[in-house]
């Protein structure tokens, strides 16, 4: 595996550790951390800071009833949370977002395919599959876009992104990612606002494709 | 059984007793130590007293059930409980499961590196002291960031802030964790 060179910035990891990221972004960060020990360590460091806040923010006395209830529930049966392991190129958090099933691709035209993983008021997360050498059409973002490479590689104005690399793009970046030659490039992409493709799909149709 | 290094904090010792021996008295001690902190934390984050106690219950039961995952060489007890508290709070209030990274595997319960445990604890202590030295405004921002009240954008726009003085402490911890994790895979 190639070395990961594009990491999650500190503020993004802090927001992830604090649980304040919208769900689509949290999926991408959790997937990147699954592939990247540097960011796993950075996230743990933020949790240590969170722990320091927990230790110092001030105490509130708890009721005796609560104490009795918790100690009385130690033997109560509990349903273990499902654990999702990596499947092929897909990190556990992506497998979880796909509910353990293989991706169901929808063609977007020009050989580009997508699979929506989550979509709602918080934004959306999707898988994108781009044929080798093909450019993802010009698009601009209203908010933030996170893209994590799961297979292949792409390049744009800001650099080359291989497996495990994470790209952040905001309003200020108008970029044209081009999939490298070789394998199809499969990415996990999340946005907190609809993506606007200027050339691929007329914007009227965008709600239909949920992009 | 885990040999107990000298000078380990009581919280770490209780947590290891819970992890390795399912020690109920140690769990009760942990409850008495952390339940009031968790309740204060949740209420500072806007929960009512009743909601806060529900969260405390969920978090402390998770501490008991997932104790096998506690690794004192990588995280102080407070960080581990913070992690669980954020998960539970999201599960309860947003009614969605927080996406979590793949599990790196359970820590060994046979050969505990006492030196590493003490290093983790010292760091946690240094972080607490760094937090206490901040001026009230900075401290308030850090607290809000880790209470989950600041958006990613708000955190990024506070240059140097959310982490401010404690940033260097986080960096130090980071270097050590990187080293640990590198050996892991
Ligand atoms: Zn990384």
Same domain, B77 and B158: no
Better-predicted residue by pLDDT, A191 or B1: A191
Same domain, B98 and B118: no
Instruction: Identify the domain boundary among B54, B81, B103.
Output: B103
Read off the pLDDT band of B181 (50, 70, 90): very low
What CATH number has the domain bearing residue B3? 1.10.1740.10
Same domain, A112 and A186: yes
Q: Which domain holds residue B43?
A: 1-103
Do B86 and A50 make contact, defined as CB atoms within 8 angstroms? yes
Give the mean pLDDT of B126-141. 83
Q: Which residues surround ligand 1, an ion (CB under 5 A)?
A: A 7, 36, 38-39
Distance A99 CA to ligand 1 centre (A): 25
List of chain B residues whose C-beta atoms are within 8 Å of the C-beta of residue A56: 128, 131-132
Distance CA B172, CA B179 (A): 11
**B46-96 pLDDT per residue, tens:** 899 999 999 999 999 999 999 999 999 888 999 999 999 999 888 877 777
Instruction: Enumerate long-range contacts of B63-68, CB under 8 Å, 24 or more apart.
Output: B63/B15, B63/B18, B63/B27, B63/B30, B63/B34, B64/A74, B64/B18, B64/B27, B65/A78, B67/B15, B67/B18, B67/B19, B67/B22, B68/B19, B68/B106
Distance A42 CA to ligand 1 centre (A): 9
pLDDT of residue A140: 58
Same domain, B89 and B174: no
pLDDT of residue B175: 62
Do A144 and B57 make contact, defined as CB atoms within 8 angstroms? no
Q: Check pLDDT > 80 for residue A55.
A: yes
Provide the number of structural domains found in chain B: 2
Distance CA B38, CA B40 (A): 5
Same domain, B51 and B77: yes
B4 to chain A nearest CA, in Å?
A: 22
Distance B106 CA to ligand 1 centre (A): 22
Give the mean pLDDT of A205-209. 48
Q: Which domain holds residue A185?
A: 106-209
Contact B101, A94 (CB under 8 A): no
Whole-number average pLDDT of chain B: 83
Better-predicted residue by pLDDT, A79 or A60: A60
Same domain, B99 and B122: no
Same domain, A121 and A201: yes
Same domain, A54 and A136: no
């Amino acid at each position: 595996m190639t070395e990961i060179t594009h990491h999650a910035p500190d503020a993004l990891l802090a927001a992830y550790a604090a649980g304040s990221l919208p769900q689509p972004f949290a999926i991408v960060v959790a997937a990147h951390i699954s592939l990247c020990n540097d960011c796993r360590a950075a996230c743990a460091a933020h949790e240590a800071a969170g722990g320091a806040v927990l230790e110092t923010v001030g105490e509130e006395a708890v009721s005796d009833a609560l104490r009795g209830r918790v100690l009385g529930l130690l033997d109560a049966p509990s349903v273990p949370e499902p654990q999702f392991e990596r499947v092929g190129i897909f990190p556990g958090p992506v497998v979880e977002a796909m509910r353990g099933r293989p991706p169901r691709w929808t063609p977007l035209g020009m050989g580009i395919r997508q699979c929506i993983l989550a979509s709602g008021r918080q934004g959306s997360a999707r898988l994108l599959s781009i044929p080798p050498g093909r450019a993802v059409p010009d698009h601009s973002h209203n908010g933030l876009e996170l893209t994590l490479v799961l297979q292949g590689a792409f390049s744009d104005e800001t650099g080359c992104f291989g497996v495990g690399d994470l790209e952040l793009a905001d309003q200020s970046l108008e970029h044209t990612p081009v999939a490298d030659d070789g394998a199809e490039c499969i990415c996990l992409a999340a946005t907190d606002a609809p993506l606007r493709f200027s050339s691929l799909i007329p914007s009227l149709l965008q709600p239909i494709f949920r992009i | 059984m885990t040999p107990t290094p000298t000078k380990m904090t009581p919280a770490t010792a209780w947590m290891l007793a819970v992890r390795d021996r399912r020690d109920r008295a140690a769990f009760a001690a942990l409850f008495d130590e952390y339940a009031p902190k968790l309740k204060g934390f949740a209420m500072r984050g806007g929960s009512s007293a009743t909601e806060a106690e529900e969260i405390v219950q969920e978090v402390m039961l998770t501490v008991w059930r997932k104790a096998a995952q506690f690794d004192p060489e990588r995280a102080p007890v407070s960080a581990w409980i913070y992690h669980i508290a954020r998960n539970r709070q999201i599960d309860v209030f947003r009614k969605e499961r927080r996406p979590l990274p793949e599990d790196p595997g359970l820590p060994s319960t046979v050969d505990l590196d006492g030196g590493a445990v003490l290093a983790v604890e010292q760091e946690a202590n240094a972080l607490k002291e760094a937090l206490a030295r901040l001026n009230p405004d900075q401290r308030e921002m850090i607290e809000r960031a880790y209470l989950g009240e600041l958006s990613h954008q708000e955190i990024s726009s506070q240059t140097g802030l959310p982490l401010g003085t404690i940033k260097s402490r986080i960096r130090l911890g980071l270097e050590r964790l990187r080293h640990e994790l590198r050996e892991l895979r």
